[in-house]
Amino acid sequence: MKIRGEHECVTRCQPPTAQSPSKAIVHEKTQPHIPTMVGNVMKKVMANANGISIKEYYIQYDHEFAPFGEDEQFCAAMFEGVSVLLDTTWIDSRYLASAAEEFGIPYFHIDLSVQTYVKLLESFLLARGGNDVVYILPNYQDADATIYLLITDSYLRAIVFGELDGDTVDRIRDLRPYPSFYAVIAGTMEMNNILQKAIDGGLVRKPEKWNLLFTDLQTDQYTLGDDFPQMNRLVLDSNTCCILLQQRFPCICPDPFDPMDAHLQNVLERIVQWFIKDPIPLVRASNCTPESQQQELLEHAIAAQTKLMNEIAAMAEFWITPESGMLRPNLNLSIISQPANQNTTSAAAQPPPATTIGNVAKGQIVLVKNESLQPSKRFFRVGTTESIPWAYRKRDPNGNILRNSATGEPIWEGYCIDFLHQLSVVMNFDYDLVSPRNGTFGLRDADGKWDGLVGDLVVGEIDFAIASLKMTAEREEVVDFVAPYFEQTGILIAMRKPVRETSLLKFMTVLRLEVWLSILLAIVATAVMLWLLDKFSPYSAKNNKDAYPYECRKFTLKESFWFALTSFTPQGGGEAPKALSGRTLVAAYWLFVVLMLATFTANLAAFLTVERMQTPVQSLEQLSRQSRIKYTVVKDSDTHDYFRNMKNAEDVLYQMWRNLTLSSGNDQAQYRVWDYPIKEQYINILSAIESANPVATAAEGFRRVNERLDADFAFIHDSAEIRYEISRNCNFTEVGEVFAEQPYGIAVQQGSHLQDELSYFILELQKERYFESLTAKFWNNSARSQCPNTDDSEGITLESLGGVFIATLVGLALAMITLLGEVIYYRRKETSRHFIKVAPFGNADKPMARDGKRIALKQKSIAAVKHLLDLDTPAKALRGAATTVKINTKKEKPIPKEITIGNKFVSAAEKQQKLSYIAIMPRNAIH
């Protein structure tokens, strides 16, 4: 480096003598005020110093040129003689310190810049747990000094801005990732100006992240303290003035008061006193070469310098950091902030006022009892996009997006939103949700540029993306993925359950109408034919009394219809006809009945089985082979890309196979086959998808599925989203198995420091089974318990066979109507009959009077029985008994022994052809 600039002699211009110490003061070329500042302070110091004269050399240091020890101006000063080297620059002091050591000149590095304030503010930020900060300074000179300090001695990742203007505001607003803190170091009036520009530019969204350090004592003119009490303020404490002025507290602080002027005066006073107490020789050098004969004197000077530094370090007005050895002023700063135990996040509540909670002195934080600093929280811009149930904007019943009343931002919900909130808790950060300006998840155009979440990550618009973002090889080329947070997901087919027509007579539709009419016609024809055969056949029971003397079934027309109807039941038709012709007809009819019943049963079972089938297809392959069911995907989605890639793969394989088979080489004959070995499944699927017009969103796809009541439309989409919709909609069902499985992951910028940290906490959450509870929350199938049961696998429903019960009820109603008709008909018939009352057998000894004559009823009854037994007895004999009844005791025909008259019913003998049954007269009276 090379030092350029003119030699400036402020107090004296004659060359120094051996007895007059001389000091060289090095300053930055951007510090033109240093000579004037040092000159004014030297006048005050020298006014109290008697018998000593000090010469000053001012050297502008430009670190862009040769090293300091080779500078011509420095060599000229060394030729005249230098006693001490004072460094007021803010650069790395190694070059100046090494040059002073080479020539044996006592070296002191004094901080008169903003670096002491930055150092104190950094101590405060580190105490709050910060790791990155944006410094805003009032001018570029302070910004340069801050940058050099951060390069050589800082633990924070920092970005420095000077002179806040419109362009700077835009650059700060576009910073990615968002900084944990904003720090402003300025005087009170400059602070008001900077903060107002930041507020107007929309930078002050989280006031608690802003930290203000005031470099003067005019903080009573700060105008934004009541508006933003959440901002942390570091102000010069009143005892700072007393310390630097070496006065007891309390003291009167001059107005205006510049701490750096007081600090420079303290340093120069110590050096002048050192000159008086222990004279320091002049060090001269010719051609910038140290003189060897002065080594003993130089050693004495260096020892004296070390002793002086130890004395200065013990003084209250100085702060010497061990890592740099720079002489800094001891600035005692008061921390004004909201108490941590009273902080509130409610937008409606009035924030508590800010109070003094501690001090910062010599880089140490001392807090008031029971107070604590608010912990630092990093801030990230997190990208997401809508996909149910992962992340979606909350809406009211009318579909309008609900917004946060405080910020005006949309309210987000979903699996990823809950997951992100949990991450912010365990990782201690704040975040803003950002939607991509173009696209959704990310597509690459022909020029290789990405849109959506992937594109925002590539350009640094967001810090990381959390959504239903699948980990693909193409995306891995431009972004990094952390450990997967969700189980393997893939592609699934969703269809609507077919809407079945509810009819109580549905079982009647098993057979067509013409079949039912044919069955009815067969019943009628069989009944009529059976009646005719029984009537005209000579071998029927009706026409063949000798062969069938006992009572047989008479197949009248009514009885024939009854036989034909009852033959359709398991009970059977009853007694069959006796004639061979009738039995032949009945046998043929029974065969017809058996076949019809078996056909009906088989068709009914098949009908109910087909009705229970949820979908007419069960896999993607079956879906591709049919043409009735249409299907589609979300346009330009991962699923759409999957079918495009599979179609392209089939095309490439076809070209390879064609090239092999059409090659003229003999070695390729083994590939020539009659059948096409490459399936065109995905070619057909993609063609069907394009013809059905891919939908714009998943919601539209599910709507189209729900509208097709005949289940003739399918939606191919992400399996997790489909299962979520199925858990909430009773009309949907999934088809087949999941295919093309891939994991979901959080995407970060390539090389981002967040990758390892996010992966670690995701694995920790997995160990705590957090994701299982989150999955159970969003994929909750309890809602399907309210769905109507349309599956007949557990039994046939009443809607399918309710007509059977109706037919039974109709039959019961007809039976009751018939019973009513029978009762009415019987009563009318009974009222038209004449009854003859006779005395009971118990009163036979008391003759009744009839036509003036008494008749013995017992004898008359006996005579009537004999007449029934003897059919040859003339009827007149019975009628003559009305006047005189004479019982002939002589029996013309004995009563057969096989006939018993008593209280039992006994069948007639075989020889008595005229008697089939005998009625037993009861002993009680007949009324």
- Known binding residues for L-glutamate are 475, 639, 718
Report the relative pairing of strands 392-393 and 412-413 from DSSP bridges: antiparallel
Task: Report H helices in 469-566.
Answer: 473-476, 513-536, 557-566
Position 114, amino acid: V
Backbone angles phi, psi at 193, to 5 degrees: -65, -45
Spatial separation of the C-alpha atoms in residues 736 and 742, rounded to whole Å: 17
Write out the binding residues: 475, 639, 718
Spatial separation of the C-alpha atoms in residues 748 and 674, rounded to whole Å: 51
Q: CA geometry: angle at 313 spanning 310 and 319, to 5°? A: 155
Q: Which two tokens stand for residue 654?
A: 């076809």
Spatial separation of the C-alpha atoms in residues 792 and 811, rounded to whole Å: 28
Contacts of 237 (CB under 8 A, 6+ apart): 332, 333, 334, 359
Spatial separation of the C-alpha atoms in residues 697 and 385, rounded to whole Å: 12
- The Cβ of residue 13 has, within 10 Å, a number of other Cβ atoms equal to 9
3 state DSSP class of 375? coil
Q: CA geometry: angle at 481 spanning 479 and 482, to 5°? A: 150
297, 281 contact by CB (below 8 A): yes
Torsion of CA 655, 657, 661, 666, to 10 degrees: 120
The DSSP secondary structure of 400-443, one letter per residue, reads PBPB-TTT-PBPEESHHHHHHHHHHHHHTEEEEEE--SS-SS--
119, 328 contact by CB (below 8 A): yes
Strand order in the sheet with 364-367: 157-162, 132-137, 181-186, 210-214, 232-236, 333-337, 355-361, 364-367
Q: Which two tokens stand for residue 560?
A: 């024939």
Phi-psi region of 732 (alpha: psi -120 to 50; beta: other; left: phi over 0): beta
Q: Which residues pair with 716 in a beta bridge?
A: 493
Name the packing angle between helices 115-127 and 140-152 (round to 10°). Answer: 60
Spatial separation of the C-alpha atoms in residues 801 and 795, rounded to whole Å: 11
194, 221 contact by CB (below 8 A): no
Q: Which two tokens stand for residue 385?
A: 């996009």
Torsion of CA 859, 864, 870, 872, to 10 degrees: 110
Backbone angles phi, psi at 235, to 5 degrees: -120, 150
130, 181 contact by CB (below 8 A): yes
Spatial separation of the C-alpha atoms in residues 758 and 420, rounded to whole Å: 11
Number of residues that this document lists for the chain: 927
Spatial separation of the C-alpha atoms in residues 206 and 182, rounded to whole Å: 10
Phi-psi region of 906 (alpha: psi -120 to 50; beta: other; left: phi over 0): beta
877, 887 contact by CB (below 8 A): no
Q: Of the candidates 766, 750, 896, 746, which has an alpha carbon nearest to the alpha carbon of residue 384?
A: 746
Spatial separation of the C-alpha atoms in residues 218 and 216, rounded to whole Å: 6
Spatial separation of the C-alpha atoms in residues 291 and 304, rounded to whole Å: 20
The DSSP secondary structure of 51-109, one letter per residue, reads S---EEEEEEEBTTSS-GGG-HHHHHHHHH-BSEEEE---S-THHHHHHHHHHT--EEE
Q: Which residues pair with 335 in a beta bridge?
A: 234, 358
